[in-house]
């Protein structure tokens, strides 16, 4: 990378590389799984939300105005992680469509 390219990127400031995904930090509650790419393999505990494949679940048995029943909630995101997820969702769904930029 040339010095000019580097200074141009630094001037833009931080940005999302994979703006359609949010990756959760590892936790002992998550089971390890194997991630393979070609002949390489890694044991991973991270989890990911892909914004391109999310959807709302409608169910009469879910009351969103009350706390979850005891024993159902295993983990809760930190305030910082929730803020990062909210910011990334806002960026993803608030950005211009590719067709609009053309």
Looking at residue 79, what is its pLDDT?
94
Residues 6+ apart with CB under 8 A from 32: 43, 44, 45
- Model confidence band, residue 101 (pLDDT cutoffs 50, 70, 90): low
Structural domain includes residue 11 = no
- Give the pTM: 0.66
Residue 50 scores a pLDDT above 90: yes
Q: Which residue has the tokens 């608030």?
A: 94
Q: What is the mean pLDDT of residues 29-49?
A: 92
Domain membership of residue 88 as a residue range: 16-55+74-96
Structural domain includes residue 10 = no
Token pair of 56 as six digits: 């709302």
Residue 97 scores a pLDDT above 80: no
Overall domain count for the chain: 1
Nearest to 93 by CA among 12, 10, 22: 22
Structural domain includes residue 46 = yes
- The percentage of residues in the chain with a pLDDT greater than 70, rounded to a whole number, is 95
What distance separates the 2 farthest-apart alpha carbons in the chain?
A: 58
């Amino acid at each position: 990378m040339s010095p000019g390219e580097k200074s141009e990127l630094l001037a833009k400031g931080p940005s999302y590389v994979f703006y359609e995904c949010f990756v959760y930090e590892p936790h002992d509650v998550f089971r390890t799984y194997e991630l393979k790419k070609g002949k390489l393999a890694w044991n991973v505990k991270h989890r990911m939300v892909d914004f391109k494949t999310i959807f709302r679940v409608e169910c009469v048995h879910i009351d969103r105005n009350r706390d979850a029943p005891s024993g159902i909630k295993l983990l809760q995101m930190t305030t910082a992680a929730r803020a990062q997820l909210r910011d990334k969702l806002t960026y993803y769904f608030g950005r211009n469509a590719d067709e609009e930029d053309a």
